[in-house]
A and B are shown apart, each in its own frame.
Chain A
Amino acid sequence: MAGNIWIIAEAWRGQVSEITFELLALGREVAGQAGAPLEAVLLGSNARELAQKLGAADSVLYADNAALADPVPENFATALAQLIKEKQPAAVLVPLTNLSVDVGVVLAAQLGVPFLNYCKDLKAEGGNLTATCVLYGGKMEATVTASAKPAIIGILPGARPVEQGRSDKAATITDVAVTLAAPKVHFKRYLESEAGDVDITQKDFLVAVGRGIQTKDNLDLAEDLAATLGGAVCGSRPVIDQGWLGLSRQVGKSGMLVKPKLYVMLGISGAPEHVEGMKGSQCIIAVNTDAAAPIFNVAHYGVVGDALEVAPALTEKIKARKG
């Protein structure tokens, strides 16, 4: 396959994001199959030291520009488009995070190529790239060939283990220059996480509610169960969007990453965006009326049933046991 395999490194407030290492691990496999070098691209301002963490790549391109200090997707995309035109990579792997997805879609739009989305696996076969993409909230997977040059591919979190992409090897860094004009969109400031009543990332027991909880009043059932367990209630996106729970209680892509000892899920189907935030939980119990819900492929224990009936029954049994 002509051209290098690129992974776009993500730096988030002075740190290399973990997903960068997942992409390095996946990119290493793809580069091996393609017989091409693996190259990491890091864009930033005074961030060269972060490039040194990318030793799993054969080489690192580092572009330093004051305009890359703030998360302005247009600047990052324009810089990448310049580098792509100059270096002609075969494929560009982009982290599917809220931060980087906008860089990927603006980049693809600038280059006039598709942005291959929701990719959980990627292979180079016979000069082509074959991706496995997760569709319909995790209910289907499509095997897809991407023939655009370059192929811009959004990689879901969790495609490979983080550790597989870390390396003690010294990175071979090449400094590259990019020219950036004033962007159309201006970054003003970060808004920090709203102080919540509880920090769900610190709880050993979490009861998570989703769309299946149906009404705000039914939250009480989850609150009772959480209180009995000595934990807290959190939720998936639809519950937050409805205003039933505050932002500080959201688990998933935009919300918190939690790894409690016990994660009880009431009426959550298991969309990839939610699973991303809770899959590291030590014990996951899912209750859902849909026997085909993707969450049953993630949970350790599953119940096909009505969360509104199981939750109060469980609360009573635990109360009885605890005396």
Chain B
Amino acid sequence: MDILVLMKVVPDVVEELEVGSDGKSLDTSFLRTIINERDDHALEQALLLKDKHGGKVTLLTLDAPDIDDVLFTALAKGADRAVKICGVESVQSTQTAVKLFGETIAKTPGLLPVDLILTGVSAIDDLDGLMAAPIAQQLGWPYAGVVTQVALADKTATVIKEFAGGVRGEYEVPTPAVLGIQAAEKPPRYVPVAKVRAAMKSQTIESVDAPAVEAATTVEVQQMAKPQVTGHAEMLEGSPEEVADKICELLAKRGLL
């Protein structure tokens, strides 16, 4: 039972984000990136399936600053192989990323066959599309998205998809298939730094050259800006005790205490 996990990094929104000098993209000079949270869940779901059924988990990602840390961490968690697509500038377009991943999967020896391709259902920078469905379309494989559980048996994945209000749906998906993961069945596992260091010494990250693909052009960013604030909270200042007093006052005024 082999699984390919597609991952990418996204800006860490815990940090302050600034607009770059072109006015159309993020200022990358001090940008810190982290693994797309949903991709981290896709990795975890792959590892949970490996724990259960055995097989190999391969990671495929676009090269980016700090990507090696992400990949070694994933290897330390139990992934078997890590491949990065090199020679791409920071890819701003999900459509372009889809082409890069799709071509690489099809043309790189040894990436296929797999039973499943898992990737995060969405990312905070997915402006012109989501990854999983167009990759499935390119491969001619079935697709299911917003998935929170996966069980495998007899060339069929039984998946649970989230709707709203806590209602979910159960689907049967013939494998091989591409799944967009919303959340793994368990929180992404923790791996101690020592294990990551050990992975850095004992394992290698493979590089493949990016295939030549045409950049997507039908969605063009004219401007990027911090949201215009239409309303803003009335800010309460002071020590925690002073703030708590102020909150009590306003709750009392509203008849909430």
Contact = CB atoms under 8 A, between A and B. Distances in A.
A98 B172 CA distance: 18
Interface stretch (A45-53, A55-63, A172-180, A298-306): A298-306
Interface size class of A (residues with CB under 8 A): 35 or more
Interface string A134-166: 111111111111111001000000000000000
Interface stretch (B48-56, B70-78, B133-141, B205-213): B133-141
Contact of B232 (A113, A141, A296, A310): A296
Contacts of B110: none
B242 to A, nearest CB: 9
B129 A117 contact: yes
B249 to A, nearest CB: 10
Interface string B210-235: 00000011111111111111111111
Interface stretch (B58-66, B80-88, B142-150, B195-203): B142-150
B30 interface: no
A243 B186 contact: yes
Given A114-B218, A130-B222, A136 B240 contact: no
Contacts of A72: 171
Interface stretch (A1-9, A20-28, A31-39, A245-253): A245-253
A192 B167 contact: yes
A185 B235 contact: no
Interface string A278-306: 00000111100010101111111111111
Interface residues of B, number: 89
Interface secondary structure of A, over-half rule: mixed
Nearest to A102: B145
Contacts of B10: 136
Interface string B230-249: 11111111001101110110
A146 B218 contact: yes
Interface in A171-224: 184-194, 205
A194 B166 contact: yes
Contacts of A269: 13
B139 to A, nearest CB: 11
Given A118-B127, A135-B125, A283-B254, A292 B244 contact: no
A252 to B, nearest CB: 9
A108 interface: yes
Given A184-B142, A298-B231, A302-B235, 7 more contacts: A118-B127, A138-B227, A140-B224, A144-B219, A185-B172, A188-B171, A292-B16
Interface of A: 12, 71-74, 97-99, 101-102, 105-106, 108-110, 113-118, 130, 133-148, 151, 184-194, 205, 237-238, 240-243, 247-248, 250, 253-257, 261-262, 269, 283-286, 290, 292, 294-306, 309-310, 312-314, 316-318, 321-322
